[in-house]
Amino acid sequence: MVDLKGQYQKIKAEVDSGIQEVINNTAFINGPAVKEFQADLEKYLNVKHVIPCANGTDALQIAMMALGLKPGDEVITASFTYVATAEVIGLLGLTPVLVDVYPDTFDIDVEAIEKAITPKTKAIVPVHLFGQCADMERIMSLAKKHQLYVIEDVAQAIGADYTFSNGTKAKAGTIGTIGCTSFFPSKNLGCYGDGGAMYTNDDELAKKLKMISHHGQSVQYVHDVLGCNSRLDTIQAVVLKAKLKHLDEYAQARNKAAAYYDRVLGNHPKIKIPARVKHSTHVFHQYTIQLNGVDRTKLREQLAERGIPAMIYYPIPLHEQKAFKSERFKKGDFPVTEKLCATVLSLPMHTELDEDTLKYITDNLLELLN
């Protein structure tokens, strides 16, 4: 699904010498590269504060802690997403309120958000799934009307540009109250282990996020609130700093592969290619097709036999997971999500896909669908 080795070869010199330097200086925790990467990312995103942390799940959790959400508060998010988004809501004793997504873009359904708002609602967590932004302009106007926080889960869409109807642009994750991202190796900006970050333009909130991710500490050994221990390792910051310089190229390479898939698969009656929206660029964390009248399990096996990986993101809707069992939801409540879980297939997508590989993938896929 991804080729991290090919990508590494191109930045090997910088990464290797940077990592060696960290080891030479034994600056494993909070070494200079962490601050440097943080500043580089702030500049790239045009956001006032980036607060690095240990992973994307922590980023979401710390964001919700910093907003002072209390048990019983309702947080609205999509039923079609990676488990982490909803998991932290439940873990903090908040109430996850799931809503369906749009069938073409996989992003959270804004009408469904509006219907789900109650006096207990405190926050909305839109997920920019697969690399394209949710409808942030409408989400922000809903949030303003009902005085809700917006936590963007931008784990899959770092670098995507959002365009408002008045023409202004902003990077994904810098529009809501807080943006949360992941640097898991296979993400668009991935390190060589775990990593994550929060973004915000709010100075007070930035202080809180930093404090919470550092044991609630204001001054050394003075702890004002209960926090956690969530840091980005210096070695990971070295890798991220090197890769950030190439992030736009990486997005271009992904878009080139996506355009190839579109061209070759776009007219097939059994395939629905991923829709594009006007309000966002797409950074193609995943290229996800929907299959129509196809035995997906068999197709995956046949592709695997020919050396072609294909993944199902995500096979089981959150509301059908045991961990999220609730009187609020039952099977049948989110028909779009349920249909997507049964029909989606993500094809290999990364920065190193050349035309020969793409041709091999699509030739085989089309042959197997006949």
Ligand X SMILES: *Cc1c(COP(=O)(O)O)cnc(C)c1O
Q: Binding residues for ligand X, per CB under 6 A?
A: 55-57, 81-82, 84-85, 127, 153, 155-156, 182, 184, 194, 196
Identify residue 161 by its one-letter amino acid code.
D
Residue number with CB closer to ligand X (27 or 83): 83
How many residues comprise the chain?
A: 370
Nearest distance in Å: CB 65, ligand X: 15
Nearest distance in Å: CB 266, ligand X: 26
Residue number with CB closer to ligand X (77 or 362): 77
Rounded CA separation 192/240 (Å): 9
Rounded CA separation 235/8 (Å): 15
Residue number with CB closer to ligand X (47 or 86): 86
Nearest distance in Å: CB 166, ligand X: 28
Residue number with CB closer to ligand X (60 or 358): 60
* Inter-axis angle of helices 247-265 and 355-369, nearest 10: 30
3-state secondary structure of 267: coil
248: Cα within 13 Å, side-chain hemisphere: 6
Strand partners, 182: 196
Residue number with CB closer to ligand X (99 or 358): 99
Residue nearest to ligand X (CB): 56
In terms of C-beta distances under 8 Å and separation of at least 24 residues, what long-range contacts does 93-98 make, across chains too? Answer: 94/64, 94/69, 94/70, 94/122, 95/120, 96/318, 96/324, 96/326, 97/121, 97/328, 98/318, 98/319, 98/324, 98/328, 98/329, 98/334
Task: Supply the DSSP symbol for 160.
Answer: -
Nearest distance in Å: CB 159, ligand X: 14
Nearest distance in Å: CB 33, ligand X: 19
Residue number with CB closer to ligand X (96 or 260): 96
Torsion sign over Cα 156, 160, 164, 170: positive
Residue number with CB closer to ligand X (133 or 358): 133
Nearest distance in Å: CB 195, ligand X: 7
Nearest distance in Å: CB 84, ligand X: 4
Token pair of 19 as six digits: 């990592």
